[in-house]
Structure 1
Amino acid sequence: MDLLFIIDPLDSLKAYKDSSVAMMRAAQARGHGVHVCEQASLHWAKNRVAAGATRLSLTDNDEDWYRKHESQIRQLAEFGAVLMRKDPPFDLEYVASTWLLSAAVREGARVFNAPQALREHNEKFAIAEFARFTVPSLVAREMPRLQEFIDEHRDTVLKRLDGMGGAGVFRVRHDDPNRNVIVETISELGTRSVMAQRYIPAIAEGDKRVLLIDGKVVPHCLARIPRPGDSRGNLAAGARGVAQPISARHREIAEALGPVLAGRGLLLVGLDVIGDWLTEVNVTSPTCFREIQDQTGFDVSGMFLGALEARIR
Structure 2
Amino acid sequence: MQKPIIYLQRSFREEFIAKIKEIAPDYQISTELSEEELSNVEISVGWKREKELALLNSPRLKWVQAISAGVDYLPLSELEKNDILLSNGSGIHAISISEHVIGTLLAYYRGISQSVKNQMRKKWDQSGIHYDQLSGKNLLVVGTGHIGKQLSASLQSLGVNVYGINTTGRPVEGFSETYSIKNLPKIVEDMDIVVGILPGTEATYHIFNSDIFQRMKTAAMFVNVGRGDTVHTKELATALKEKHLAFAALDVFEDEPLPADSDLWELENLLITPHISGMTVDFQRKFMNIFLKNLKGYVENGELVENQVGLKRGY
Q: Is the TM-score greater than 0.5? A: no
| TM-score normalised by L of structure 1 | 0.30
Greater share of strand residues, 1 or 2? 1
- Compare CA radii of gyration and give the structure with the larger one: 2
Instruction: Tell me which of the two structures has the higher relative contact order, counting C-alpha pairs closer than 8 angstroms and 6 or more residues apart.
Output: 1
